[in-house]
Amino acid sequence: MRKFIGIIIAMLVFSSCEKQQKEVTSFLQQGEIKLTNPRITVSNTLIDSFVTLKPEIHMEKLSVGYEENGKTPTEASTKLHTTISATKPGIYKFRAFHPDWKPSEVTSIKLYKKGHIPNKITWKTSANKKYKGQGETTLINNQKASLEFRDIEWVGFDTIAKATVSFNRKTYIKSLTISYLTDPKSWVFPPASVTLYLNDKDTINVTIPALTEKEIVKLDDIKIPIEKEISTIALKVNNVQKLPDWHAGKGLKAWLFMDEWIFN
């Protein structure tokens, strides 16, 4: 009899076990879904002496790990609880962690060394009237823009961008970095190519690889080695003339949005 009662109890436990398991598994469990990439507010991505990086902590128990050396942050990485200062150029990587959710993907922020500021910029073509930025010197004003293309620091072209920059005296320029926005859903693509005319003598041509990713919005740049004493550089930055087949506007022209030309 006792044996029989025991078996019945055990069966009930098994049954409740199965039922409990079914109820539980119908709901999303901890660790099944990723966190969204962390948002980091940067005072400026061009470093003069230092810049500040501030995480947005939007959930209880959320932590943001970061690495300065290009490594992917892990749970063991230094946690960013509040604003920090950065003095070195490079790629800073951030990742969100939370006990209920899978770690996020990585947010990368590139910090640049502030460059030489040309004394003059003369435009040969005009930005679109809706996206003139802060005026003619926006691309050499030592201010980077955000990911939002309506940001006043973006200068938007629906045609080729041509300008000449000049320095008061010959300046050794190691490289030129042209930073731009990639936002395919808003028809904003990287430049197709860049041509530089150095001191009215030498020419440098650079072609930028065609975009293959469809969704990602990001700040990007192209760094062009120069290694010369420079008094003038004429720049011709070509926008994409035909959007690719995968894009909703295939065959039409792309927008080109630039926020800074950095002469290091």
Partner 1 sequence: MNRRKFLKQSSIISLGLLACPSLSSAFSLGANNDVIIGHNSHKYKVDLTWGNLNPLHTPVNDCHEMIQDSKGRIVLLTNHTKNNVIIYDKSGKLLETWGTDYPGAHGLTLVKENGEDFLLITDYERHQIIKTTIDGKVVFTIEYPAETGKYTTKDDFKPTETAVTENGDIYVTDGYGKQYILHYNHKGELLNFFGGSGTEDGQFLNAHGICYDNRNPQNPSLLVSARELNVLKRFDLQGNFIESFNVPGALICRPVIHKKDIYFAVLRSKSAINSDSGFILIMNENNEVVSCPGATSPSYQNNKLNELYQTVRLFQHPHDVCIDDDENMYVAQWNSGKTYPIKLTRV
Q: Within a 10 A sphere around the Cβ of 212, how many other Cβ atoms?
A: 7
Least Å from the CB of residue 12 to partner 1: 8
Among candidate residues 144, 120, 83, the one with its CA nearest the CA of residue 231: 120
Q: Which of 100, 136, 158, 220 binds partner 1 (CB under 8 A)?
A: 100
By beta-carbon proximity to partner 1, the closer residue of 115 and 156 is: 156
Q: Confirm if 191 and 256 have CB atoms less than 8 A apart.
A: yes
Q: Per-residue string for binding with partner 1, 113-152, x by CB under 8 A?
A: ---------------------------------xxx----
Least Å from the CB of residue 29 to partner 1: 5
Least Å from the CB of residue 102 to partner 1: 9
When asked if residue 84 is in the footprint of partner 1 (CB under 8 A), the reply is no
Least Å from the CB of residue 154 to partner 1: 14
When asked if residue 20 is in the footprint of partner 1 (CB under 8 A), the reply is yes
When asked if residue 33 is in the footprint of partner 1 (CB under 8 A), the reply is yes
Burial of 85 (0-12, 13-18, 19+ CB in 10 A): exposed
- Beta pairing class for 107-113 and 46-47: parallel
Reported as type and span, the H/E element at residue 121 is strand 120-123
Among candidate residues 130, 131, 153, the one with its CA nearest the CA of residue 143: 153
Token pair of 216, please? 């990602």
The contact set with partner 1 (CB under 8 A) reads 2, 5-7, 9-11, 13-14, 17, 20-21, 24-30, 32-37, 39, 58-59, 100-101, 146-148, 185, 215-218
